[in-house]
Structures are given as C-alpha cells and as structure tokens.
Structure 1
Amino acid sequence: MKQKIRLLTIFITTLLVSCNSYAQEKDDYSAKIDSLIKTTNPRSFSGVILITQKGKTKYKNAFGYSNIEKKTPLTTKDNFIIMSNSKQITAVLTLKEVENGKIDLQSPVRKYLPDLPKSWADTVTVHHLLNFSAGITDIDKPLIFKPGSDFKYGNTTYIMLGKIIEKVTGRKYNDVANDLFKKLKMKTTYCFEQGKTQNRVKGYQNTNNNLKLEETPIENNDKVSAAGIISNVTDLNIWDKLLHNGKILKPETYKLMTTYSITAQHNAFGKEKIGYGYGIRVSDKTPIKYLGHTGGGSGFVSFKVYFPETDVDVVVLENQSNENIDLFYEFEIKIREIIMNSNLMKK
C-alpha cells in the first residue's frame, strides 16, 4: 500500500512539474514584460497593459499611480484619455455614415462643410481627411502639398470629420459616439466634456522623471473627435475584437479602412514607413502583419496593436507623456517587440 502511495506521489509531482514547465515554455513574455516595467532609466512606466489571444487574457497588470499626489495605485479598470487613438473611432463613425449612404468618400469636403474659407475645400475629399493625405495644417492656411500626394498628420482633419458626422446625422458627435459605445457594450467608454467631472485618472507630463500634473489635457470639446475619447484597456480590447472580426463594419467597409494608398513612418512601429488606412496603421510588409494606432500628449499615452494571423491584441495605456518625443513610446515599442518574438505568434 505504501509503495502504491509513493508511486502515486511521484507521478503527481512529475505531472505538476511537467505542466509547469510546459506553461513556462508557452509563456515566454510575462516575465520579460515584468522585468521591463521595473526600468526607470531613461524613464519610468505608469499605466495598464492588457494582452489577449482569441479572447483569452494572457497578461493584465497595472503599475504606478492614478493620482500621484494621493499615491492612489492604478488599477486595470481605470479610465484614460486615449488621445489620438480617438481618431480610429472617428474613422469608424465616418465609415458607418458611408454605409448609411450619408457620406461619400470621394466627395469634396465643401459638400458637407460649405462655410470652409479656403478654395481647397473643393478639391480635398473625405478620403483625404481620413488618411491624412489632404495637405491641411490649419483650416485658414493653404495646403502644403497636392491632395493625395503625401502624408501630414494632425488633429485638424479629424476635427473636420467630427463636424461632418454632426452635419450628416443632425446630432452632436458625442451622442453619436456614445451610442456606438453603448451598442458595443463598451460600458466605461465615453467622450470628454469640458467642465464636467468625469471618471478618469490624472495625466502627468514627465520631464527627466519629474512629473507635473496636466490641468487641462483637452482644451475644448471640438478636439474630442481627434483626441478626446476616454476609455480603458478592457473596452479597447472589446473594440479591437469586434472591429477586426467584422462586428462593427461591413466586410467591404472594413477593407476600405485597412487598405492604404499612402505610407508614413512612426517610431512606435519601426524605422520604416508602413501603410496608413483610415485611422489605422497597417504593417503588412513585416514578417508578422499587424494593425494599430497610437496616441500621446497632454499627460497620456495610448498604444494598441492587433495581430490578425494569431488573433493577439495588445493594449497599453499610460497616464504620463514625455517632454522628450523620443521617449514617448519607450515601453510600448519594447512590449510590441517582446510579443512579436514570443510564442503567442506561433500559429
């Protein structure tokens, strides 16, 4: 009897060791991310990370403080201003109105915004606004290049798209956006509203690891369609899952969104130029294809990428932005690289 118990104990111990080894072999990224987050030079990390595969959570953690003055720890449920990741939401809202027959991508913006002062409103199309190929720097200034010939990033074109959405729907942008969030069950995502107390973490400007509170990260309500959506990692993961699996846009519209005619370089996605569709960057010349976008400034950083071939989604939100633009996406770049070189990329 004792011999049987001893053999059974050995079998269970061996099984547990094997299972643990197998799990460690499969998860070759968590420890690397944990180690990375401990880094404080050239800057520290303060934010939340969520990584999923096929809808299952693979990594989820929060580091730092939502309120430095009160030393309130961040949690994975906390809300952040997602800055320019708001543009992807505005692109989708625009495309929803394309599906409804209210917006024509190839029509000049003058059709929807007749009071625009410059003559370029007759040649710049909605398509040019969506992929930053309009050459617009400011509504009152001349174009810096012929529409469709180059790429110039900025908030102005997406503020214009917000106005177009309001024009064709007869509703406020915030109401249109918030209705979509409700429909998608993104329960804690909403639009910034100036003068209204909203549930979100405080944002800080980082200068040589000295943090200063950003009192007014969003100057006015007009900026919401370009940089003023408030969300958290869970809701943004829901967004990615639904968007990239055909649950928000029709297949042909999603194809329009993720097809590009213009390329641009962004530090968070490498040194080479990659495609820019409608509110989304498309890296399809790399060994592993991914789609994503970033947002940063005024005390916040947001970063998300989706790998369609392995159904892996990565969302990183921080409540600090760096005075040094080269350090903006310091952690996000390395997290992306860790995941791209992990077992999660094995089909």
Structure 2
Amino acid sequence: MKKKLPFLPLALLLFFVSNQTIFAQKDNYSAKIDSLIKTTSVRPFNGAILITQKGTTKYSKAYGYSDYTKKIPLKLTDHFFILSNSKQITAVLILQEVQKGRVVLSTPIKKYLPNLAQPWTNTITVENLLNHTSGIVDLEKPTAFAAGAQFKYSDLNYILLGQIIERTTNKTYEQNVTELLKQANMYNSFFPNAKNEKNIIKGREYFKDNTNMEIQGIVIPREQVPAAGLVSTVNDLSNWNNALHKGRLLNEATYTRMTTYNITDKHPVFGEKEIGYGYGIRVNDEAKIKEFGHTGIIPDQGFTSVNLYYPETDTSIIILENQAFENFNVSYYFETEIRKIILSSGLLD
C-alpha cells in the first residue's frame, strides 16, 4: 500500500516556493561570475576572486595559472602584487604617526623631509600627499598646480609618504609595514625582497599588438613599494578590510578623516561619475550603496588589483589578477563587470 504524502496548505507551499525563488535570485551572482570569467571576447581572465560578507565567504574562485609556461593552476592562497592598493596601507601607517603626535597633516613636508631642496616642500602638506592634491609631477620640477587646487594621481606622493614614515619612526618602511600587516592579521602579506621573491606568482603583460610576455622577478623599484609594491592574497585583503573598517587600526576620528574627502575624481571601475578620494581610498557616498575601494595596475609587473568594501553590509569584493593589459580600455573589464553583478544581485541590500 502506497504511503500518502502529507498535505501542505497552499499558502505554505507558495511561501516555500517564493522564498526559494528569492534565494535563487540573490545567489545568481555566483553563476553569473562563473560564466563571465570563462569568456574571452574582450580579454581572458586569470586571477583570484573573493567575496565575503560578515565573515562568511559568499564566492571564491581561482581561475587560470600562477605560472603560464608550466601551466600551474592558480590557487586562492597565491601571492599577488597588490599595486596601488598598497597606498591604503601606507596611509594608515602615516595616520598612526598622526595619532602618536609625530606627524601633523597640515604641516608642510619640508619639516619631515629637510633633504628635499625644492621650493614646493614649503607649501605641500602631508595631507596633499595623501589625497593626491600636491601637484607633484617630478621631484626635480615645479608642481603642476598650487597645493590643494586639483587632484592629480601620482605614485610620487606615496613614495614621499614612505620616506616620511622612515624619518619619523627611525625604522625602514619595510619594518613598519611588516608590523602593521601582523596587526591586521595579514600573515601571508609582505614587502617584496630577495628572500621572499620566490613566493610571488609570475605576472604577464599584454601589449596593444596582442603579444604578451611573462614577467620574471620584481620589477617595481624598492622606493616605489609604499605606493604600489606590496604583496598579498585575497584572504589577507579581506582581513585588511575587517581591521581597517572595524576600528582595529585607527581611532574613530582618524578613520573618519581618512574616509572623508574634499576632492573628487573619476575612475572607470566606479562608473561615470566623479567620486571622492580620501587618504589612499576612493569614497563613493553619492550612490545608493556606500562604497570604499581602490584599484591598481602596473603593466610592467603584470598584475591588476581591485579591493571594494561596502560598510552597510560588511561586504568585501577582492579581485587580483596576475596579468595586466597595456590597453587601458580593457584593463579592468572583469573587475568592473563583477562589481556590476554584485550591485544588482541583492547581496548588498
């Protein structure tokens, strides 16, 4: 004799089906990202993606190779150059010195870098370096504009900040940043040197003529590391977001200052509108969903990076690629599309 199935009231059945549909809609970002990174119509994807929310992994995937020649599969634990996402870390080192009273943001940099002879050191402040309003285009040339008048993104600003950190602490930048990375639970991140170089995966540069080249070793000069040369993993950058945005690295007043802006700029990853630039971090507070983040690319080193954080839902989107494209029009293609998928998925609601 066949067993009769229990009767479910129609309302309960509809509730169950409706909730399953909502869940599927909210989770469809996984399938969309999976499909996206397999496409090659614009360019190939080769990298690691991690999306976390409130300490839970929502999406994680390594796709492609860590060594293109040997066809070694990429892993989520692989070490990437994070390029200009290094600036956020350098900014925190400076701001920790501010909290200790050893650096004042409104002070001209001549006080901290007396060895620099250029006249502009008497007018450019530490804050001008942090938010790229210094106007510095070359250490031996006049500035492009008066300090604070405009935004002009430049690694030189953060190279100088690295020097200020060394002079005010009497320790190398490498020593300072190593201590900070531990403070942020970033135990798989480091300042690149001859001893740890072998732990960094190989990059690849794609040229405009469609040829490409595998990159051997460290290309980024040592003095540029505070601006664009630290090494990390997707998991460690998620740890960084947790430490920075939850008050473990800076007090509330300093953190507020870091994420407040008086200058705006446009970047294709964040859309067509200009958004704010704080201290080593872009601030998109005009959109429906508040967003912090930064990007990074150095074709010569063969890496691309994007780190996004959404404070209202405690969500991180981290994308690291060990390839870079000379054609800037396609450089951030996947990073931009993944951001769009998540913003429209309901995950951040």
- TM class, shorter-chain normalised? over 0.9
Q: TM-score, normalised by structure 2?
A: 0.93
Q: 1:11: which partner in 2?
A: none
Map of 1:327 onto structure 2: 330
- Asked if structure 2 preserves the Cα contact closer than 8 Å seen for 1:191 and 1:230, the reply is yes
SS in 1 for 2:199: coil
1:54 — aligned with what? 54
Work out whether residues 194 and 220 of structure 1, in 8 Å CA contact, stay in contact via their aligned partners in 2: no
Q: Deviations over 1:181-238 (max 9, x none)?
A: 1122211001112575341110100236543112355342111101111000000000
Return the alpha-carbon distance in structure 1 between the equivalents of residues 231 and 243 of structure 2: 18
Structure 2 unaligned blocks of 5 or more: 8-13
Identity of matched residues, % = 47
1:316 aligns with 2:289: no
Structure 1 equivalent of residue 151 of structure 2: 151
Does 2:120 correspond to 1:117? no
8 Å CA contact 1:37, 1:44 repeated in 2: yes
User: How far apart in 2 are the matches of 1:238 and 1:161?
Assistant: 23
Instruction: Letter of the 1:75 partner, please give it.
Output: K
What is the CA–CA distance in structure 1 between the aligned matches of 2:39 and 2:60, rounded to whole Å? 18
SS of aligned partner of 1:238: helix
The CA distance in 2 between the partners of 1:293 and 1:2, in whole Å, is 62
Secondary structure (helix, strand or coil) at the match of 1:344 reads coil
Tell me how far 1:309 sits from its aligned partner: 1.6
Corresponding position of 2:130: 130
Shift of 1:269: 1.1
What is the aligned partner in structure 1 of residue 39 from structure 2? Answer: 39
1:163 aligns to what SS in structure 2?
helix
- 2:253 — aligned with what? 252
Letter matched to residue 288 of structure 2: P
- Map 1:75-224 to 2 at 5 A: 75-194=75-194, 197-207=197-207, 210-224=211-225
Flag structure 1 segments of 5+ consecutive residues without an equivalent: 9-13
* Secondary structure, aligned partner of 1:345: coil
- Structure 1 equivalent of residue 291 of structure 2: 290
State the AA in 2 paired with 1:315.
I
Instruction: Tell me how large the CA RMSD over aligned residues is.
Output: 2.1
SS of 2:136's equivalent in the other structure is coil
Q: Which amino acid aligns with 2:33?
A: I
Q: Residue 168 of structure 1: SS of its match in structure 2?
A: helix
| Residue matched to 1:70 | 70
8 Å CA contact 1:206, 1:323 repeated in 2: yes
Distance 1:146 1:112 in 2: 20
Pair 1:267 & 2:268 matched:
yes
Q: Is the 8 A contact 1:112 1:168 kept in 2?
A: yes
Contact 2:197 2:218 in 1 (8 A): no
2:243 corresponds to 1:238: no
CA apart distance, 1:16:
9.9
Residues 26/42 of structure 1: CA separation in 2 closer, same or farther (3 Å cut): closer
- Cα gap change, 1:15/1:260 in structure 2, threshold over 3 Å: closer, same or farther? closer
Whole-angstrom CA distance in 2 between matches of 1:188 and 1:28: 31
**Post-superposition CA distance 1:238-284 (Å, at most 9, x none):** 00112111111100000010000111111111121110000000011
Structure 1 outlier segments of 4+, above 6 Å? 14-19
